[in-house]
Amino acid sequence: MPSTQSSLYPLLFEPLFRDYLWGGQRLHTNLGKRTGSGVWAESWEIVDHQANQSVVANGPFQGRKLQELMGEFQGRLVGQRIWEKINAPAVPARLRGRFPLLIKFLDAAKDLSVQVHPDDGQAARLAPPDLGKTEAWYVIGCEPGSKIYAGLTAGTNREKFQNAIACGETEKLLNSFRPKVGDCVFIPAGTQHAIGAGLLILEVQQASDTTFRVYDWNRVDAMGKPRDLHIHQALDVTNFSQGPIFPQPTKMDADGGRHLVSCSYFSITEHSGERNMKLGQDDRFEIVVVIDGTPEIGDLNLRVGQTVLLPPLVGGYDSKLHKRDKILQIWIP
């Protein structure tokens, strides 16, 4: 029997862990993830992408996949406007009706590869088609000397970059800077980028997993083989007019939140300090990620590292932040 609208509630999900060669242990030590003592690179908090499916961890829907809830509740889960947007004719048929964002934590104990993602039009022409991947990074932890690589140095064109790759001098044309905790970096599709060693990151992105690597710091795996590169594809999707990228300038919202980034795919605001507030809207879903403290949202008492999906609710959800609490509020404008 289909569930009624009143059955919707704030949803927690079981994280999906990913083990890559650059991972560390901070998903467990800093964020409380149940990874044990092993080395893990990513924790996918909310995802609806092909076989990668978030599974509900709380309440009556416990054990059900996000994809199933999307099919059952549709606009009641994400908001009618957003439901229509993700089912528009411009979206490839096999991708329609999919939850539009992917939320993940990344623990970079080593440098990630230098890579780039296609935009929606380019990704739609792949076989099989995918969404583009515009993303943003929020810096949770930062060791001294850590770097972020974002965009190319001013004046770098395709020919110059291609020659640098061929000569083993890719790094010379990468724009880089030393971030600090609380920085937000916006990475539009088509931007060459890499997360440097020592960073713990919260990533908000389109629900895509298409990546083209151009450089992997000359690393090899346990068998002595380098990882695959995708230089031709990467050059084809790189936006060479992008130029260097640095942390987002931020401004305070009327309600005291620190607005970090806004684009057609997502907006992010940071809230911190002791206050009572409303989260969620009557016409759209929101995602809340706990960066620090023990905030209360609706009937949930949350902790560091937890991510909750708030379905649309008239009047929003009563929420309480304590003195040391810090959360990120994420939505689609």
Could you confirm whether 125 is annotated as catalytic?
A: no
Alpha carbon distance 102, 82 (integer Å): 15
Element (H, E) at 27: helix 26-29
Tokens of 315: 């009047």
For residue 56, the cross-strand partners are: 13
Q: Which of 26, 76, 98, 213 is catalytic?
A: 213
d(C-alpha 189, C-alpha 206), whole Å: 10
Length of the chain equals 333
Sign of CA dihedral 108, 113, 115, 117: negative
Residues 6+ apart with CB under 8 A from 100: 78, 82, 85, 86, 131, 206, 207, 265, 332
Residue 97, judged by CB atoms within 10 A of its CB (0-12, 13-18, 19+), counts as middle
CB of 108 within 8 A of CB of 195?
Answer: yes
Place of tokens 């924790």: 43
Regarding beta strands 135-142 and 199-206, do their DSSP bridges make them parallel or antiparallel, or are they unpaired? Answer: antiparallel
Match 């002595």 to its residue by tokens.
224
Within the chain, how many helices (H) and strands (E) appear?
Answer: 7, 25
> d(Cα 186, Cα 177) in Å, to the nearest integer?
14
- C-alpha pair distances (Å), 7 with each of 11, 54, 62, 231, 297: 11, 19, 13, 48, 17
Of 326, 229, 211, the closest CA to residue 270 belongs to 326
Give the residue numbers marked as catalytic. 213
